[in-house]
Amino acid sequence: MSIAEKFVAMEYGPAPEDPKEALSWLDRHDRKFGHFIGGVWQQPSEGTYFETSDPSNGERLAEVGQGSVADIDAAVHAAHTALSKWQAHTPHVRARYLYALARTIQKHSRRLAVLETIDNGKPIRESRDIDIPLVIRHFYHHAGWAQLLEQEFPGYAPCGVVGQIIPWNFPLLMLAWKIAPALATGNTVVLKPAEFTPLTALAFAEICQEVGLPPGVVNIVTGDGSTGESLVKHDGVAKIAFTGSTEVGRAIRRATASSHKRLSLELGGKSPFIIFEDADLDSAVEGLVDGIWFNQGQVCCAGSRLLMQESIAEPLIAKIRDRMSTLRAGAPLDKSVDIGAIVDRVQLDRIKRLVDQGVAEGATCWQPKIDLPSRGLYYPPTLLSNVHPTSMVAQQEIFGPVLATMTFRTPTEAVELANNTVYGLAGCVWSESLNVALHVASQIKAGVVWVNCTNLFDAACGFGGYRESGYGREGGREGLLEYLEPVWFKNAPALPTVERTPRQPLNHDSDPSLPAIDRTVKLYIGGKQARPDSGYSMEVRGTDGRFLGEAPLGNRKDIRNAVEAAHKASSWAKATAHTRAQVLYYIAENLSERSEEIARRLAAAVGETQAAAEVSLGIERIFSYAGWADKYDGAVHNPPFRNVALAMNEVIGTVGVICSNQAPLLGFLSLTMPLLAAGNTTVVVPSETYPLIAGDLYQIFDTSDLPGGAVNIVTGYTSQLLKVLAEHDDVDSIWCFADGESATAAKAYSVGNLKQVFTNEGRSIDWFDAKQSEGRWFLQHATQVKNIWVPYGE
C-alpha cells in the first residue's frame, strides 16, 4: 500500500479519556451531594434528592439535593451574613481570592473537563480545550478587575446578594461568567445550576472551600425550576442574573417587576451565519462546523440559520455535506469525537419533534450516513434546505445540531433576512471584503458579530443580546456594571407620595378677576403638531389651582402613530455623531433664546426660582449631551487570539420615555437628550402635572433641525400611556422616571418583546444635581454594546 493509499484508508482509533479521577471524586462524596451553604455541605431540608446521569450511556452518576424554599432562604441568609465582611475587604484581598480560584481551577482542570463531559455529554475535546480554559481565563481576568475596581468604577457600589440561575449547555463556564464578576465587584452569591448538569458547580463549591473563600460568599443550591423560582422571588436578593430559555426569562421579568431587583437575561437565539460569494468557502465551512455542530448545537449563539449568497449555494451545500459526512459522533470521552450526546431525553425529543415539524412544513432534511452509538442520546448533524424565512425552523430555536439554510442575492437582502427574527444574540459574516463584512456586521441586530470567525469568547469582551435574546452583558466593563449601582442611587430616598413640589406664589397675572390665558398645546408626532385621537383634553392647573391651559389627552392610537413616526425617523440614528451634536447645540441655542418666556410660563407650575433653574440647567444639560454625542465611544479589545473585538456603543432604537413630575422641563431634557445624543428616536410622555411644557419644546425642536419623528410628544395620563408604550412591540426600551407604581408597571408590561427597562425604582432623583441626573449612567442605558470580532493575520 502506498503512503497516499494508507493516508486515505486511515481510520481513527479509539482515544478514550480516562474518567477514573472524576469518578473517584464522585465516590469520595458517596455519589450524593447536599447544597453548599455558608461554606459547608448541608442536607436538603426536605430530604429530597434527584439523579444526574451520563447522557452518553444513561449511567447514574450521582444524586443531588432538590432545593426547597427553606434551602434557598438559608443560602440567601448565609450570603447576607457574609456580605458586609466581603465588602469590607480591600479590592486587593478580593483579587487574591479570585486569583486563587483561577489557580485552583487550573490545577483541577482535567478532572473538571471530564466531569463536565460525563454530566453533559459534550466531547472532551470541547470541555478540555474550550470550556475549562475559558473558565480559568474568566477568573484571572476578573481577579484583575477586583484589584482595579475602585480606580475604574469610583462612585459605584455592589448590588448585594445576587441570585444566579444557569443552564446546562456550558455548566461551569456559565457559572464562571456569573460568579467571577459578582465577586470581583463585592457581591455575594447564591447560584442554582441546571438540574441536568449540577456536578461541576458542586466541584467548584469544593474549590471555594479549598481556597478558603469566606463562608457564605458563594452558595450553591441544586434543584429544578421551582428552586430557581424561589431564588427569583426571595426578598433578600438584590439582583437576578439568568441564562436560559426566553420563556423562563419572561417569567422572571414578570416575577421581579414589583421588586427593585436588578435583572440581566441571556436568552435564546437564532443566529444568522452569512456567507458571501467572495468568502473563503473552505474556511467558512470549518467555521460553520463550529457554528452549529459545536456542543451538538446546544449553544445559545449557534449559527443555526445559514444565509448563502445565491451564486454559491450549490457548491457550498456540496462542501457542507462532504464535511458533515466526516464528522464523528460517539462517546464524548473519546478525544477524536466531534459530536457527543444530547444532554437529556427531553431535549432529544424536542429536537426530533421540531425537525419533523420543519419537514412537515416543507423543508428538505439531509443527514450524513455516519455511525451513531446504539446506546445513549444522540442526534445526527442535520441540514434543512428549502426553508422558508417565516417557517418554524427558521424562526424557533431548535437547540440541537440542526442547520436551516436560505439564500439571498444582495447584502441588503442578507441583512433583512438576518434581522428577520425576534432574537438578536449573535451573527457571523464571511466575506473576503472587509468593507462588505463590516458594513453588514454593523447592521445586524445582535450583541456579537463574528467576521470570518465564529464562537469566539473572551472575558474582556461583553457577550449578550439584543431584543428577545435578553439584556445585560457578561464580560468586559459592561459586564461588571451589571453588578454595580451608583452609590447615590442605591441610597436615594423614595419619592414622597405627593410628588408636587411646593410652589411659590405667582407675582404676575395673579389678579383673579382677569381671565386666564388660554393655552392649548397639541401632540407632537412626526415633526408635526397633531390633535389627539380622543378629542379630549386635560386641564392643567398651577400650584394655586389656577387654570393654566389644556393639554391633549393622548390615547393608544396616538402612541401607535408616535411609535410609527419614531421608526420612520431612523435617519437620526444614521446621522453622524457630529451632526447629532450640532442639532443638540442648536436646541440649546433656541431654548436660550426663549428662556425668559418659557421660565415665566413654567413658573406658574413650579414657582419662579425652580423655573429659572430648570431653564438654565436645561440649557447646560443639552450642552452636556451635545458634548457627549461624539465622545461616548466604544473600545477595542485585544482578546488572547489574533483578533480585535470592536466594542461599539450602538443605538437601542425607539425608546418610550415617561417623565418625572418633579422637574417638568429639566426632567424631560435629562431623559430625552442622552437618548438623542446616542441616536435613539423617542416617544415622550411629559410630566403629567405640567404637560404644557410640550408646547414650548416642540416649537424649539421645530426650529432646531431635529428631524421630524426623532422626538414625539404625547401628553396625557401617565399610567394609561405607559401601558401602551411598554406593551408596544416596536418600542425597544422604556425609560420610566415617575413613581414606584409606574416603575413596576413598566417592568411588568414590558415582558412581551422583553424590552429593556430603565427606571428610578420610585426613588427621588435630584434633577438639579448633574452628578445624579447626567452623564455615563444615562448614556449606558441609551446604548447597547455590540462586539464585532475581526481576525487578522494570514
Distances (CA, A) of 669 to 519, 541, 621, 677: 22, 22, 7, 11
Q: Name the residue nearer to ligand NAI (CB basis): 340 or 532.
A: 340
Question: Can you give 549-580 as a three-state secondary structure string?
Answer: EEEECCCHHHHHHHHHHHHHCCHHHHCCHHHH
Instruction: Number of residues interacting with ligand NAI: please give it, by CB under 6 A.
Output: 27
Q: In terms of DSSP bridges, do strands 305-309 and 402-408 run parallel, antiparallel, or are they unpaired?
A: parallel
Q: Name the residue nearer to ligand NAI (CB basis): 334 or 397.
A: 397
Contact 671, 659 (CB under 8 A): yes
Q: Name the residue nearer to ligand NAI (CB basis): 143 or 398.
A: 398
Distances (CA, A) of 600 to 595, 605, 613, 658, 699: 8, 10, 12, 24, 16
Q: Name the residue nearer to ligand NAI (CB basis): 421 or 687.
A: 421
- CA–CA gap between residue 416 and residue 440 (Å, rounded): 10
Grid cell, residue 407, equals 439564500
The nearest distance, CB 232 to ligand NAI, in angstroms, is: 5
Q: CB pairs under 8 A, 24+ apart, for 501-505?
A: 501/606, 501/607, 501/610, 501/662, 502/543, 502/607, 503/542, 503/543, 503/544, 503/605, 503/606, 503/607, 504/543, 504/603, 504/607, 504/608, 504/609, 504/610, 505/544
The nearest distance, CB 754 to ligand NAI, in angstroms, is: 13
Task: Report DSSP state, residue 467.
Answer: G
- CA–CA gap between residue 127 and residue 542 (Å, rounded): 67
Residue 514 identity (one-letter amino acid):
L
- CA–CA gap between residue 576 and residue 40 (Å, rounded): 56
Q: Name the residue nearer to ligand NAI (CB basis): 34 or 532.
A: 34
Phi, psi of 384 (to 5 degrees): -110, 120
Told to check if 767 binds ligand NAI by CB under 6 A, we report no
Q: Name the residue nearer to ligand NAI (CB basis): 22 or 240.
A: 240
Near ligand NAI by CB under 6 A: residue from 45, 56, 147, 169: 169
Q: Which residue has the cell 470592536?
A: 646
The nearest distance, CB 182 to ligand NAI, in angstroms, is: 17
Told to check if 116 binds ligand NAI by CB under 6 A, we report no
Site for ligand NAI in 667-726 (CB under 6 A): none
CB within 8 Å of 756: residues ≥ 6 apart: 471, 652, 732, 733, 734, 750, 781, 784
Distances (CA, A) of 65 to 42, 212, 243, 345, 470: 9, 23, 21, 21, 30
Candidate ranges 164-172, 475-483, 572-580, 753-761; the one touching ligand NAI (CB under 6 A): 164-172
- CA–CA gap between residue 126 and residue 132 (Å, rounded): 9
Near ligand NAI by CB under 6 A: residue from 55, 186, 268, 401: 268
Candidate ranges 260-268, 361-369, 478-486, 738-746; the one touching ligand NAI (CB under 6 A): 260-268
Told to check if 187 binds ligand NAI by CB under 6 A, we report no
CB within 8 Å of 228: residues ≥ 6 apart: 165, 192, 248
Near ligand NAI by CB under 6 A: residue from 79, 95, 165, 205: 165
The nearest distance, CB 254 to ligand NAI, in angstroms, is: 10
Site for ligand NAI in 281-300 (CB under 6 A): 300
Q: Name the residue nearer to ligand NAI (CB basis): 211 or 392.
A: 392
Active-site residues, by number, are: 266, 300
Task: Report DSSP state, residue 343.
Answer: S
Site for ligand NAI in 219-258 (CB under 6 A): 224-225, 228-229, 232, 243-245, 248, 251-252
Site for ligand NAI in 425-444 (CB under 6 A): none
Nearest to 201 by CA among 235, 176, 169: 176
Residue 176 identity (one-letter amino acid):
A
The nearest distance, CB 220 to ligand NAI, in angstroms, is: 12
Told to check if 304 binds ligand NAI by CB under 6 A, we report no
- CA–CA gap between residue 610 and residue 250 (Å, rounded): 41
Grid cell, residue 677, equals 445624543
The nearest distance, CB 187 to ligand NAI, in angstroms, is: 19
Q: Name the residue nearer to ligand NAI (CB basis): 157 or 252.
A: 252
Candidate ranges 166-174, 586-594, 604-612, 776-784; the one touching ligand NAI (CB under 6 A): 166-174
Candidate ranges 23-31, 99-107, 191-199, 717-725; the one touching ligand NAI (CB under 6 A): 191-199
Told to check if 17 binds ligand NAI by CB under 6 A, we report no
The nearest distance, CB 760 to ligand NAI, in angstroms, is: 26
Contact pattern from residue 387 through residue 406 relative to ligand NAI, giving x for each residue in contact according to CB under 6 A and a dash for the rest: ----------x-x-------
Near ligand NAI by CB under 6 A: residue from 39, 123, 163, 167: 167
Candidate ranges 69-77, 167-175, 183-191, 486-494; the one touching ligand NAI (CB under 6 A): 167-175
Q: Name the residue nearer to ligand NAI (CB basis): 87 or 357.
A: 357
The nearest distance, CB 247 to ligand NAI, in angstroms, is: 7
Near ligand NAI by CB under 6 A: residue from 54, 116, 119, 195: 195
Q: Name the residue nearer to ligand NAI (CB basis): 251 or 575.
A: 251
Q: Which residue has the cell 410609527?
A: 564
The nearest distance, CB 413 to ligand NAI, in angstroms, is: 27
- DSSP, collapsed to helix, strand or coil, labels residue 372 as coil
Sequence-ordered strand ranges (E) for 12-59:
32-33, 35-37, 40-42, 49-53
Contact pattern from residue 350 through residue 379 relative to ligand NAI, giving x for each residue in contact according to CB under 6 A and a dash for the rest: x-----------------------------
The nearest distance, CB 780 to ligand NAI, in angstroms, is: 23
- CA–CA gap between residue 624 and residue 230 (Å, rounded): 44
Query: Rounded to a whole number, what is the largest CA-CA distance in the chain?
Result: 114
Told to check if 267 binds ligand NAI by CB under 6 A, we report yes
Q: Name the residue nearer to ligand NAI (CB basis): 48 or 520.
A: 48
- DSSP, collapsed to helix, strand or coil, labels residue 409 as coil
Contact pattern from residue 312 through residue 351 relative to ligand NAI, giving x for each residue in contact according to CB under 6 A and a dash for the rest: -----------------------------------x--x-
Residue of closest CB approach to ligand NAI: 228
CB within 8 Å of 782: residues ≥ 6 apart: 651, 652, 655, 674, 675, 677, 678, 680
The nearest distance, CB 203 to ligand NAI, in angstroms, is: 17
Beta pairing partners, 63: 32, 51
What are the counts of helices (DSSP H) followed by strands (DSSP E) for the chain? 30, 32
The nearest distance, CB 302 to ligand NAI, in angstroms, is: 10
Q: Name the residue nearer to ligand NAI (CB basis): 187 or 347.
A: 347
The nearest distance, CB 223 to ligand NAI, in angstroms, is: 7
Between the two ends of the chain, the Cα-to-Cα distance in Å is 36
- Count Cα atoms within 13 angstroms, Cβ side, for 425: 25
- Count Cα atoms within 13 angstroms, Cβ side, for 165: 29
Told to check if 83 binds ligand NAI by CB under 6 A, we report no
Candidate ranges 105-113, 187-195, 382-390, 590-598; the one touching ligand NAI (CB under 6 A): 187-195
Neighbours of 439 (CB within 10 A): 14
Q: Name the residue nearer to ligand NAI (CB basis): 94 or 192.
A: 192
Which residues in this chain contact ligand NAI in the complex, by CB under 6 A?
Answer: 165-169, 192, 194-195, 224-225, 228-229, 232, 243-245, 248, 251-252, 266-268, 300, 347, 350, 397, 399
